[in-house]
Amino acid sequence: MGAMDILANLNPQQREAVTAGLGQILVLAGPGSGKTRVLTQRIAYLIQSMEVPPFHILAVTFTNKAAREMEHRLGGSLGNQLEGIWLGTFHSVCARLLRREANYLPFTSSFVIMDADDQETLVKRAVKELNLNDKLYRPSALHAAISAAKNDLVLAEDYPVRTYRDEVVSRVYKRYEEMLRTSNAVDFDDLLIWTVRLLVDNPSVRERYARRFEHVLVDEFQDTNRAQYELLMLLSSYHRNLFVVGDEDQSIYRWRGADYRNVLRFETDYPECRKILLEQNYRSTQTVLNAARAVIDRNRHRTPKHLFSDRGDGNRIVIHEAVDDHAEAAFVVDSIRQMLDAGAARGGDFAVMYRTNAQSRLVEEAFLHSGLPYRLVGAQRFYGRREVKDIIAYLRLVQNPDDEISLQRVINVPPRGIGDKTLIALQMAARQANSTPGRLLLDLGRNGEDSPHWKTFSGRGAIVLADFGGLLASWQQVRDDQPLPGLFDRVVTEIGYQSHLDDGSEEGRERWENVLELRRLAFEYAERGLVPFLENLALVSDQDTIPEQTEAPTLLTLHAAKGLEFTQVFIIGLDEGLLPHSRSLDDPEELAEERRLFYVGITRARDRLYLVRAEQRSSYGSFQDQIPSNFLRDIPDNLVQHQGQRRVQRRESMRIWNEPSSTGSRASTQLQQTPSRQPRYRINQRVRHPAWGEGLVVQSKIAEDGEETVDVFFESVGFKRLLASLANLEILS
């Protein structure tokens, strides 16, 4: 391949980037501008035209998929000329380097890399050994704090202690590191921090690698954290040929430690760097690009880009306002069906995007009722998610204690001291008694030591089984005496499921939101009861309704949409509190990230973009008014077409759920009377105030004007009475 072949079909900006000389090159690549092509062609140009041996090239990216794609493209053009190049993810490159230089490290070259489950197990052991309360100091939250520290290059011995909680994290961090070392192991974050430490502490090693890598190239530079940024600086410190490709406007992983400011920091650290903008978009129409630009231009601390396309203006953006969230989902599915029926599109042309996974539930149900296949990317189907399946299994067990599959799933979730040995003993005893494990549990729970099965188990085993059996018996009583939401709340509360799920991490919060979404559905069946509810769930979660090999519309979160593109895109939930998310409304940096997330969603669309919201959303049997997302106001009127029938009867909007589905009959859904508002905060709930820190809820009540007042004891300032709507309290447990 000659130089002309390498440069063929590149636009002027792309060619400028590929042929850039030595030094520091910052390529700011807008969405759909061909950044991967530029990066791979840059490597080819270095080898072919600048005669740089592959041995002297390091190329890093963030995902194995991206690395494989780059390697495939280069292999197709350069073949065996690539021998010796270092090309991979940050973590794979670091692992390779650490194994080579293990004699400088406190572990050997045969070290093992602990996965996420292994890491949390070690943290749990550390908590136990240090005699800490694992309810107050949850291992998952401690592990998250340790990971954040490592990404900021903070070692265990240097962990800053300002509060007692910091002291706890520091102690656990130190013990956790000791256990890693004893096991000759590292975790995922260690691969970065130990590589940086190796290069900083050993100048000879640093110089050896910095001399070797004449050219360092980086993809998705905006997603780097502090450790990754420092690593790049160290590895390029001799030749100072650093070629980075990124886009601060597409930095959407702040919660993982990514720092878009590294793009700005690069220009500060290398004031003579050459900055090249890739502004020609090959994906979208000009209307889509103009809308995206109008949204992202509101963010500060960024490089303005003027994205342009040669695909013409295209269709105006549709802003559809539905009467409620059921109608929102119905609009999406009906629109897709109409285009499919008319032969105007294929199933794979469509994507439905949303801020949180919990939002997929109504859309999934609408697809299933329409008989249209769909596929979910980046997450499990709503009813297949672990936390949803857990609660469904509990409810199935209440209804049918003989359901051994459900029993096995939840008997020790959350952990209650029923291990494998106890479970096996329970199963054997049931067989000997010609019964089922669930029936034996109920007998133990109701009769205690008077049960004929009590002496079958060890003292501790009999107690924990009887405790669980007692819960199951009490839930059956609630099932017979109270509406379904009452049973749902009893089960979730008495097993402590919120504290089990919500550990303060993004994943924990989303899992708890999924449980709340299932609770909202339970309110729709308040008068009909548990059996119809479970029958409905069985229908909806039927995997056979989704042909695996059929091209179908894609459902995914906005985070999962990064790097993908679709002919037609629906973004739903454009209401304040959803997009942007409620957690961002008081934090300018978080709000800027939400705007970037919306920008990424918009720029996934090739031809048509639909922005959909609901005037009202269902919430525990009632409907709450919604405020349109402020992001919608950023889009100029000349780019949009407004749709939607306001204030139609809500019962009509529920029609799609009331009618039999194409996959079978289904009982109609009845709307319930709006229940009286319940306090958001409960007694003994732990909360955090922005100024006063952590506190304990002493009392919370709803006044006649509908405002919730909450009394909180703060360790720092004592008792405070607050208006919940203004207090900005974060619920911790």
Phi-psi bin for 135: left (phi > 0), alpha (psi -120 to 50), beta?
alpha
- Whole-angstrom Cα distance, residue 349 to residue 617? 28
Q: Which of 177, 220, 390, 510 is labelled catalytic?
A: 220
- Whole-angstrom Cα distance, residue 368 to residue 363? 9
Q: Which of 41, 222, 250, 359 is labelled catalytic?
A: 250
463 forms bridges with which residues in the sheet?
none
Q: Which of 490, 604, 613, 666 is labelled catalytic?
A: 604
Q: Could you tell me if 56 and 89 are in contact, meaning their C-beta atoms sit under 8 angstroms apart?
A: no
Among 295, 332, 287, 338, CA closest to 606: 287
Place of tokens 């359901």: 403
Q: Which of 13, 14, 24, 35 is labelled catalytic?
A: 35
For the question of residue 219 being annotated catalytic, the response is yes
For the question of residue 220 being annotated catalytic, the response is yes
Q: Which of 14, 36, 119, 359 is labelled catalytic?
A: 36
- Whole-angstrom Cα distance, residue 28 to residue 30? 7
- How many residues are recorded in the chain? 733
Letter for the amino acid at 7?
Answer: L
Three-class SS string for 581-594?
EHHHCCCHHHHHHH
Dihedral angle, C-alpha 89, 93, 98, 100, nearest 10 °: 150
713 forms bridges with which residues in the sheet?
696, 719
For the question of residue 71 being annotated catalytic, the response is no
Q: Could you tell me if 366 and 333 are in contact, meaning their C-beta atoms sit under 8 angstroms apart?
A: yes
For the question of residue 16 being annotated catalytic, the response is no
Sequence-distant (6+) residues with CB within 8 A of 47 are: 53, 54, 57, 78, 81, 82
* Structure token digits, residue 719: 């008792």
- Whole-angstrom Cα distance, residue 689 to residue 42? 50
For the question of residue 595 being annotated catalytic, the response is no
Residue 82 burial by Cβ neighbours in a 10 Å radius (0-12, 13-18, 19+): middle
For the question of residue 150 being annotated catalytic, the response is no
Angle between helix 139-151 and helix 188-201 axes, rounded to 10 deg? 30
Q: Which of 219, 249, 259, 593 is labelled catalytic?
A: 219
Question: Any idea which residues carry the catalytic annotation?
Answer: 35-36, 219-220, 250, 604
